[in-house]
């Protein structure tokens, strides 16, 4: 696909086991004490939308989840299939790692379409307008390009 050229694209992920999933969500205060505000707000929202123990409860037959938490390509390389290929390759890595499912967040319509095309179902949706009205979040997400972020899940069984 890339014909020998190097393109800028990246995907980050981690593997989570049901047996090692956290017992409780961190509070906003706990996150703010550990991270810069923007990072803490995003982590809090991620836990709200796609917290691993909630996913394991919803899909009881799954024990090991491959969590994509970042996908990106430089704007000048978008539309060439690079992100889609990164996700395909990450799914292969998930299978090799023995994961029986994958989950991912989409904060942009482009990534949302990629995840859906590859068979990942939407299991949560949070609208930025709802978030921006919450105490502590005021003004935090005013310039977001799309109206929501979504959580996606796919079984690899």
Per-residue pLDDT reduced to its tens digit, 47-96: 888 888 999 999 999 999 999 877 778 888 888 888 899 899 999 999 99
In the chain, where the domains are located: 9-155
Would the pLDDT of 6 be above 60? no
- Phi/psi class of residue 82: alpha, beta or left (left: φ > 0; alpha: ψ in -120 to 50)? alpha
pLDDT class of 12 with cuts at 50, 70, 90? low
Q: Which two tokens stand for residue 49?
A: 């939308």
pLDDT at 37: 85
CA distance 154 to 157: 9
Write out the E strands in 18-80. Answer: 64-73
Predicted model pTM: 0.83
* Domain 9-155 CATH assignment equals 3.40.630.30: yes
């Amino acid at each position: 696909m890339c014909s020998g050229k190097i393109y800028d694209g990246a995907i980050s992920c981690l593997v989570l086991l049901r047996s090692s999933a956290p017992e409780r969500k961190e509070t906003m205060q706990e996150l703010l004490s550990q991270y810069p505000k923007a990072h803490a707000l995003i982590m809090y929202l991620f836990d709200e939308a796609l917290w691993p123990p909630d996913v394991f409860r919803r899909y009881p037959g799954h024990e090991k989840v491959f969590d994509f938490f970042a996908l990106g390509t430089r704007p000048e390389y978008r539309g060439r299939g690079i992100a889609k290929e990164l996700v395909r390759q990450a799914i292969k890595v998930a299978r090799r790692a023995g994961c029986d499912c994958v989950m991912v967040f989409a904060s942009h319509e482009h990534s949302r379409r990629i995840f859906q095309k590859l068979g990942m179902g939407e299991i949560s949706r949070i609208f930025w307008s709802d978030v921006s009205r919450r105490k502590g979040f005021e003004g935090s997400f005013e310039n977001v390009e799309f109206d929501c972020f979504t959580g996606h899940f796919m079984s690899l069984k």
